[in-house]
């Protein structure tokens, strides 16, 4: 079978992923997807992504040139669409380059395409890695494309257990995905005007949780987390940026259960932890008191939007 007919087969075998419009992965959506697909043999899970140019609107109302991934239905988003798969499934990502420069897609340690010229397409096919959270990004043009917004997250669930971070791991009631990132406006402005970017100097000045600074990010239910006392939730922190972010939770400690798709059975209980560029960390939080509590980066420059506090990486627990 050639690649084209293989991909057509995939498109018949499965459809859109069970991700709500907000990007929130819910157990209900996963169960619905599982029920819809029924049993049967391994069916490749197809994703179609488009590399596009566009703009990002900052928390202080500026519009900056950016690049990002879009799905077939939508315009460019930062971060790109959430990809998810079950452990052991084949995942097939077709990347259409609809931008005027080279693009690609990679998941470090899993798969990488060659740079795709404008108008071209590439296919990244891989066996879903171990359950966990992964950053996907565009490796073309060094760190530049990625810094301009070409990134997102892949979530791999256990094959059978939608309420655990890995097969046999601890259970959670709900899960949330928080992609942290940032941009250096000098890179966006230079790239947008077609001048060269000095990638040796990176001085980020806007900082994002799922693509927005505080309080704009609060409209995202993955950022403004609402729950009830007694519940345990899983937060997946994925750092798609180029610098570390040191995540701090108020109100509750968390337990680190997974890093980069590897269970961490030390179950370190902390209230503050760095997530390094390209890396991920999955943590469990048990709501043992009601209230409103921030989740924020303690590298405090990243709590600003272009220097203004608290317009950076800050989300909120709202627990009743």
Partner 1 sequence: MADRTYLLWLRKSASVRMHDGVEIGIWPFTDSKGQAALFPGPLLASNEGQTVEVTFKNNMNEHTFHFHGIDADTPNDGVPETWPVMDTYNFLTDRAGTYWYHCHANTVLHQQMGMYGPYVVLPADGSNRAWTGGPAFAKQYVWMLSEFDAAWRLNNPKPNFAYFNPGYFLINGRDGFDPIAAADTAISCNAGDAVLLRLIHAGYLIAQVSLGGLPFSVIASDGRPLLVPEAPQLVEIAAGERYDLLVTPTVPGTYAARVDYLDWYTRAVRGSARTAITVL
- Residue numbers at the binding site for partner 1 (CB under 8 A): 202-207, 242-244, 246, 248, 250-253, 266-274, 289, 291-294, 297-301, 303-310, 314, 316
Question: What is the b/e burial string over 6-31, where b = at least 16 CB atoms within 10 angstroms of the residue's CB?
Answer: ebeebeeebeebbbeeebbbbeebbe
For partner 1, give the closer residue by CB, 65 or 252. 252
Tokens read off for 170: 């601890």
> From the CB of 211, what's the least distance to partner 1, in Å?
17
DSSP type of residue 113: P
71 in Cβ contact with 153 (< 8 Å): no
- CA 58/CA 60 separation, integer angstroms: 5
Of 176, 161, 317, the residue nearest 253 (C-alpha): 317
Phi, psi dihedrals of residue 196, rounded to the nearest 5°: -75, 150
- Least distance (Å) from partner 1 to the CB of residue 23? 24
Comparing CB distances to partner 1, the nearer of 92 and 242 is 242
Coil/strand/helix, residue 117: coil
Nearest residue (CB) to partner 1, 72 versus 271: 271
> Which CB sits closer to partner 1, 26 or 199?
199
Q: Which CB sits closer to partner 1, 62 or 298?
A: 298
| Length of the chain measured in residues | 320
Three-class DSSP labels, 279-303:
CEEEEEEECCCCEEEEEEECCHHHH
Q: For residues 152 and 305, which CB has a smaller minimum distance to partner 1 in the complex?
A: 305
């Amino acid at each position: 079978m050639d690649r084209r007919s293989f991909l057509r087969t995939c498109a018949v075998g499965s459809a859109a992923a069970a991700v709500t419009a907000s990007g929130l992965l819910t157990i209900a959506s996963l169960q619905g997807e599982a029920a819809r697909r029924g049993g049967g043999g391994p069916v490749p899970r197809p994703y179609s992504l488009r590399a596009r140019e566009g703009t990002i609107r900052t928390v202080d109302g500026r519009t900056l040139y950016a690049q990002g991934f879009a799905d077939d239905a939508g315009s460019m988003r930062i971060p790109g669409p959430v990809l998810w798969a079950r452990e052991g499934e084949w995942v097939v990502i077709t990347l259409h380059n609809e931008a005027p420069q080279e693009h690609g897609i990679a998941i470090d340690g899993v798969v990488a395409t060659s740079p795709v010229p404008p108008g071209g397409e590439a296919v990244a096919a891989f066996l879903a890695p171990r359950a966990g959270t992964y950053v996907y990004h565009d490796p073309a043009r060094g760190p530049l494309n990625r810094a301009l917004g070409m990134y997102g997250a892949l979530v791999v669930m256990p094959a059978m257990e939608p309420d655990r971070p890995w097969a046999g791991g601890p259970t959670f009631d709900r899960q949330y995905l928080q992609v942290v990132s940032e941009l250096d406006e000098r890179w966006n402005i230079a790239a947008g005007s077609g001048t060269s970017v000095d990638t040796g100097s990176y001085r980020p000045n806007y900082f994002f949780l799922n693509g927005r600074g505080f309080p704009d990010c609060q409209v995202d239910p993955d950022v403004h987390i609402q729950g009830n006392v007694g519940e345990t939730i899983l937060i997946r922190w994925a750092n798609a940026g180029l610098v570390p972010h040191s995540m701090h939770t108020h109100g509750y400690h968390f337990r680190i259960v997974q890093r980069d798709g590897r269970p961490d059975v030390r179950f370190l209980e902390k209230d503050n932890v760095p997530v390094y560029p390209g890396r991920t960390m999955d943590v469990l939080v048990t709501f043992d008191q009601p209230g409103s509590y921030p989740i924020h980066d303690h590298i405090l420059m990243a709590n600003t939007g272009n220097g203004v506090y608290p317009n950076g990486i800050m989300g909120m627990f709202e627990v009743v």
